[in-house]
Amino acid sequence: QLTMSLNSSTLLNEENAQGAKKNTERLESLLQTPSSFQDNPLPQLQLASQEVLEKAKKSGRSKCPRCNSSRMFYCYTCFVPVETVPTKEIPTVKLPLKIDIIKHPNETDGKSTAVHAKLLAPDDVTIYKYPCIPEYQEKRHEIALIFPGPNSVSVKDIAFHLQKYTKKGACASDDDCSREPLLKQAKIEPEEEKNPSEGISSIRNEGTRLKKIIFIDSTWNQTNKIITDERLQGLLQIELKTRKTCFWRHQKGKPDTYLSTIEAIYYFFVDYHQEILKESYKGQYDNLLFFFSFMYTLIKDAKCCAGKE
């Protein structure tokens, strides 16, 4: 299990001076306003009220309205909130791209954060259990895969690489393949070289042709079976190189840039919004971390109270 790299000296001093009673009071305060946790490495998120989760925590486990299983907060097999968490009190996020999450069959349902995405962006997220995944080859010019590797590119370079990929002949249909290559058409107008801003704009437009992002949900040691599947070959791969995980189940021996599924989804869209859509980010996707941030603070602070740090 991951022990977060946090600056906890202030919190530890407080624990030594004031004892367990103060720890409990601080825990309750932090749970009510988790974004105020100064030691929290998560950004200052603009989240919907988490009071519904606080109430559910105090009530304990509840039934899934579909399968009647006993769960906390949500059912990770039915992708719905439990009875003590009314759906109307859960925020929804509208995403600019569709998401396919490919889940390894041996990934433990209760440990996965993929369900967070389905709960919070239900119209834009589909979860598949490997090997039952779609065929992507015909639309690979508008699909990218989030995965670190030797050929992965950063989010800001999506437009450039997607443009090259499209010109290499990834056709949306047979009609498209029968047309003259875009590269030859560009040479007809040499005047275009005099206006570099138009070329930049064109590349950005290529980036916005991206329609779907694929995420793999598994332990890092299990990813090889999925990433080598022939149905995923030839897809543009993207790596989130500058973000560090806060996941409490981070796997030993792996870099802290290897994110949990919901972290990867969140950080990708923040970067995509700024780098590709060229719009200022104002917290539009923060609620993707609605469950994650609450659970992070809950688990982190419980460890502090138990003296595990």
Q: Is the pLDDT of residue 186 over 70?
A: no
Reported as a single tens digit per residue, the pLDDT across 50-78 is 999 999 999 999 999 999 999 999 999 99
pLDDT confidence tier of residue 25, bands split at 50, 70 and 90: very low
Residue 100, classed as helix, strand or coil, is strand
Q: Identify the residue with better confidence: 234 or 186.
A: 234
Q: Which pLDDT tens digit goes with each residue over 273-300?
A: 999 999 999 999 999 999 998 988 888 7
Please spell the DSSP secondary structure of 129-188, one letter per residue: ETT-----GGGGGGEEEE--STT-B-GGGHHHHHHHHHHTT--SSHHHHHSPPHHHHHTT
Rg, Å, the chain Cα set = 22
**Ramachandran angles phi, psi of 202, nearest 5°:** -65, -40
Please tell me what DSSP assigns to residue 66.
T
Average pLDDT, the chain: 76
* pLDDT given for residue 182 in this prediction: 36
Q: Cα 227–118–298 angle (5° rounding)?
A: 100
* Best CA proximity match to 267, nearest among 153, 155, 128: 155
pLDDT digits (tens, 9 = 90+) for 242-278: 676 675 555 555 656 568 899 899 999 999 999 999 9
The pLDDT value recorded for residue 167 is 53
Residue ranges per structural domain of the chain: 53-90, 95-164+208-308
For residue 80, pLDDT over 70 is answered with: yes
pLDDT value for 44: 83
What is d(CA 80, CA 245) in angstroms, rounded to the nearest whole number?
25
- Tell which wins on pLDDT, 192 or 55: 55
Nearest to 271 by CA among 229, 238, 227: 238
Q: What is the mean pLDDT of residues 23-36?
A: 38
Whole-number pLDDT of residue 248: 56
Identify the pLDDT of residue 60: 94
CB 245 within 8 A of CB 258: yes
- CB atoms under 10 Å from CB of 286, counted, come to 22
Amino acid sitting at position 244:
K
Tell me the residue type at 116. Answer: H
Q: Is the torsion defined by CA of 84, 287, 267, 308 positive or negative?
A: negative
Tokens linked to 298: 């809950």
Question: Whose CA is closest to 305, among 8, 2, 79, 1?
Answer: 8
